[in-house]
Amino acid sequence: MGCFQSKTSHLPSPDLDPPLPEEPKPDLPANDHPDSQENHDQDQLAPPFREFSLGELRAATNGFSSDLIVSESGEKAPNVVYRGKLKSNNNNNNSHRLVAVKRFSRLSWPDPNQFLTEASGVGKVRHNRLVNLIGCCAEGDERLLVAEYMPNDTLSKHLFHWEKQPLPWEMRVRVAYFIAQVLDHCNAQNHKIYHDLNAYRVLFDEFHLYARMGDPRLSSFGLMKNSRDGKSYSTNLAYTPPEFLRTGRVIPESVVYSYGTVLLDLLSGKHIPPSHALDLIRGKNLLLLMDSSLEGQYANEDATALVELASKCLQYESKDRPDIKFLLTAVAPLQKQKEVASHVLMGLSKTPAAQPTMLSPLGKACARMDLTAVHDILLKTGYKDEEGAENELSFQEWTQQVQDMVNTKKFGDIAFRDKDFKNAIEYYTKLVSMMPVPSGTIFVRRALSYLMIGQEEPALRDAMQAQVCLPEWPTAFYMQALALSKLGMESDAQDMLNDGASIEAKKHSSWRI
């Protein structure tokens, strides 16, 4: 059957007059979302911050197994980071989520309340360029932070220890811009201090609805000190802001200095001490500074602009350094391939996953992203999977409203049959807003119509809504897999294909019984 849709549904219910609602804006490149959309995106990225029990995090990390350590210094790091998998029996957003768990040394934060206060403050900061903090734990002597897990290594690895190809120029510019975006957002949230900004703090993500595979994101761990009153910088003193060496204090301008050291890393592909780099810049020996593997990838004026920005950031006197807004303004014009996804620029391969052994023709069509085949199958299937949902109207009082609903559905189905997908979206949208019990098939048909005109995100939302209507309907899972694949979210798409195939297998098994 269908599912009830209240007037307060989280999905939009367009006005009926005019009949065609304003079309959703096409998905913008990752770094072009307007502020309003970006703020909306931030709410979608991570579950709310919460306090975890030590038992939960011990289970997630297999007892803090050394096999799950992901810190680049391994067990030698003063604060070790583990890869973990949260296990939960409920349906909240944390269920089965991969996470990074940072374990502080036992005496770093003697006061658990101070630790919890600091962590919860950082946990309120959300941004789609930030590796968001989703929880913490302070039990006994243990002090732990929990953040989203980023599987595609650090900037340090991609710059200094690359295996297949060096990080291309355009990707380096994107890293510089995304970091500046995060720092600007943190400033606006009154988190003006970022501790020990360096190439290890920048990580590359996997698949998210609003953050493409391979996008650089800044670790939220740097928004919190490593201890109650401890060091803010763990890197070599040669890379430490001068004022910290003089006073032991970190100020907002110190973050700009550290940003300058990251720019040097991006420009040179090496970890060059700022004093040496400034000597090269003053001597106009830019070729000695630039990474030779980047030859032919950039315009000289762009490289000069980034070098000059690094020089401004690395000024000895903090008052002579630019502010974060200046960094954004300076780097933005240097981006030349904003529309190209990060994983494409980086050459990250998507490992093909094994397909489920049992897939229906619809499942196979979705797996290979054959929209035409999907359309043909949905047409042949019609509404038969809804077990008589079409007949609900016959039991209602026959009113003009019911007649309007029947006509709207008819026109939508004709448009869908004739591949007039914009009009199909119009009629199905109108129908959804009219029906007290919306049809899962309507959502699936509108989802495919959105895909046909290149609007993947509303297609995913509709496919998800179809699953709400019919929780055990393989078609809803397959359509989600198709939309996720179009969004580049391959691992999530594979999960949906597996779920759909599993449901189909259970149905076939029950039929045999």
User: Catalytic positions, please?
Assistant: 196
What's the CA angle centered on 50, arms 46 and 56, to 5 degrees?
100
What the block records as the tokens of 66 is 């050394």
Rounded CA separation 436/469 (Å):
12
Q: Would you call 109 helix, strand, or coil by DSSP? A: coil
What's the CA angle centered on 301, arms 295 and 302, to 5 degrees?
70
E strand or H helix at 147: strand 142-148
Rounded CA separation 206/188 (Å):
27
Helices (H), ranges, 15-108: 35-45, 54-60
Torsion 139-133-251-238 (CA) sign: positive
What the block records as the tokens of 103 is 């374990």
Task: Say how many CA atoms lie within 13 Å of 156 toward its Cβ.
Answer: 13
Rounded CA separation 344/334 (Å):
18
Residue 194's nearest CA partner among 225, 148, 161, 159 is: 225
> Side chain identity at 194, as an amino acid letter?
Y
What the block records as the tokens of 273 is 């001490």
Rounded CA separation 338/332 (Å):
10
Residue 352's nearest CA partner among 224, 490, 225 is: 490
Q: Locate tokens 């070599």: which residue? A: 236
The DSSP result for 403-451, as a single string, is: HHHHHHHHHHHHHHHTT-HHHHHHHHHHHHHH-SS--HHHHHHHHHHHH
Which residues touch 173 (CB under 8 Å, ≥6 apart)?
266, 302, 306, 331, 334, 335, 336
DSSP assignment letter at 24: P
Q: What is the phi/psi pair of residue 283, to 5°?
A: -85, 5
The DSSP result for 299-338, as a single string, is: -HHHHHHHHHHHHHHT-SSGGGS--HHHHHHHHGGG---T
Q: How many CB atoms lie within 10 A of CB 492?
A: 20
Which residues touch 139 (CB under 8 Å, ≥6 apart)?
53, 54, 112
